[in-house]
């Protein structure tokens, strides 16, 4: 699920409009290989709102969430997006076509840039984080920072930060994030989402002290995991 957001963030500014239109995020595609080799006119945005865990190779247990909102980069309600929405809806998913799809990206990011790294750094589940006041307060601070970045880009989130935290507490519960699952397996973690948000904040001149601090710690954790992985080869 993180990878879905990763792709959406990578091409966030494609047909975005304004002074950042077409901006490429170096933290996500430093060599510009994907930008050069994946046809941009084939992109339809999609966010997976769900929680799952890998119990064994090829075996995925779904915990919560069936939302797969879609959106065109240029904010149109196209025939192809509508057709894809019908296919996903028929398969049992909630897949509306959103004109302001980038708002969905930020709603997903509120969880990915908080619960994932904090769980990876501490070993806590989502329930542990949301029910422990200091951790919940940290998540709230980070979410508010991200919300301010989104507003700088013209996005007003349809769900409040407090509601986002409450939904995680009520619906996700005692779930191990994808980052925590990777840490427990000794695998490198996906830090690109955090680094991408830090880069976007820099472009908008937004102050994100909590996100930046957690990003630095998470990058260090990933550095150690990568080093340990290489030493075993």
Positions annotated as catalytic residues are 108
Tokens found for residue 4? 């879905």
Q: In angstroms, what CA-CA distances link 88 with 66, 73, 155, 233?
A: 10, 19, 26, 41
First vs last C-alpha separation in the chain: 28
* DSSP characters over 56-125: ETTEEEEEEEEE--EE-TT----HHHHHHHHHHHHTT-B-PBPTTHHHHHHHHHHHHTTHHHHHHHH---
Tokens found for residue 207? 């102050």
Residue ranges of alpha helices (H) inside 113-190 are 115-122, 126-131, 133-152, 161-167, 178-184
Place of tokens 């990915």: 112
């Amino acid at each position: 699920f993180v990878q879905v957001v990763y792709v959406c963030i990578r091409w966030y500014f494609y047909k975005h409009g304004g002074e950042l239109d077409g901006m490429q995020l170096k933290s996500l595609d430093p060599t510009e290989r994907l930008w050069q080799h994946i046809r941009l006119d084939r992109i339809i945005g999609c966010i997976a709102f769900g929680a799952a865990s890998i119990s064994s190779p090829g075996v995925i247990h779904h915990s919560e969430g069936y939302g797969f909102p879609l959106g065109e980069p240029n904010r149109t309600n196209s025939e192809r997006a509508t057709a894809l929405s019908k296919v996903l809806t028929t398969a049992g998913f909630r897949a509306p076509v959103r004109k302001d799809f980038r708002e969905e990206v930020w709603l997903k990011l509120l969880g990915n840039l908080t619960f994932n790294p904090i769980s990876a750094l501490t070993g806590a589940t989502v329930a542990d984080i949301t029910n422990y006041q200091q951790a919940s307060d940290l998540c709230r601070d980070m979410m508010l920072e991200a919300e301010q970045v989104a507003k700088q880009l013209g996005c007003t989130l349809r769900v409040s930060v407090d509601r986002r935290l409450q939904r995680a507490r009520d619906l996700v519960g005692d779930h191990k994030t994808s980052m925590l699952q990777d840490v427990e397996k000794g695998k490198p973690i996906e830090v690109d989402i955090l680094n991408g948000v830090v880069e976007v904040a820099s472009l908008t001149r937004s102050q994100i002290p909590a996100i930046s601090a957690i990003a630095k710690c998470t990058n260090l954790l990933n550095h150690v995991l990568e080093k340990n992985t290489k030493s075993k080869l």
